[in-house]
Amino acid sequence: MRRYFVPLILCLLCSSSSLTAPAQLVPEIRNDGTGLVVSDFTGDITPAKVSGIRFTIKNDSGKEIAAYVIAWNTITRTGKMGGSSMYIEDKSLLRSSNKMGIGATEECEGMGSVTAAPNDSFEKLEVWVDYILFTDGASTGPNKMRMASDITNRRQGAKMLRSYLQRTYQQKGIDSLLEELNAK
């Protein structure tokens, strides 16, 4: 009887969940010296789906930040890129603050989700600081997501809109400004 008991235990060990895909993926965060540190990257992160992303960033660059892009990428068990997503924060578009101060920490929440193809699963989740634009105009980061020009265009558009609204207010008054803001 003992002869059959040991193989039964080995068989149970072989079918345990340790050989199946993990219930959660552990994000591989690459803080490559850009000066913006990503931490506490959480959410619904499973081998089948990545969504509801939340994370913390800290400005350790020694400079004020005007805009940044945090990106993440999934790699499937077959070695294919499963999908990418990103979080863009452009301080020029906010009224409350136009920069991220030195040493400042922010809580961020990503949007969207990436789902693995049928019969495949995510093996790896890579997270990195893709691009930073400092308030002095300098920038850093690999810009793999190619968002640098998009951020520049957004900032230019926001500047033009602020200028137009300022002129409208100065030349025509508050009623015209409110009318312009409410126009469809």
The domains located in the chain, with CATH, are 20-145 (2.60.40)
Higher pLDDT, 24 or 44: 44
The phi, psi pair for 80, rounded to 5°, reads: -90, 155
pLDDT band at 4 (very low <50, low <70, confident <90, very high): very low
The phi, psi pair for 53, rounded to 5°, reads: -70, 135
**pLDDT over 90 (residue 180):** no
> What confidence tens digit (pLDDT) does each residue in 158-176 have?
788 888 888 988 999 999 8
DSSP H or E segment with residue 53: strand 49-59
- Cα 8 from chain centroid (whole Å): 47
Sign of CA dihedral 160, 166, 172, 173: positive
State the pLDDT at residue 159.
81
Strand partners of residue 74: 83, 125
Amino acid type, 52: G
State the pLDDT at residue 92.
62
Does residue 30 come out as left (phi exceeding 0), alpha (psi in the -120 to 50 range) or beta?
beta
Among 42-51, 89-98, 99-108, the least confident range: 89-98
State the pLDDT at residue 116.
85
Cβ-based burial of 108 (10 A; exposed 0-12, middle 13-18, buried ≥19): middle
Instruction: Provide the residue count of the chain.
Output: 184
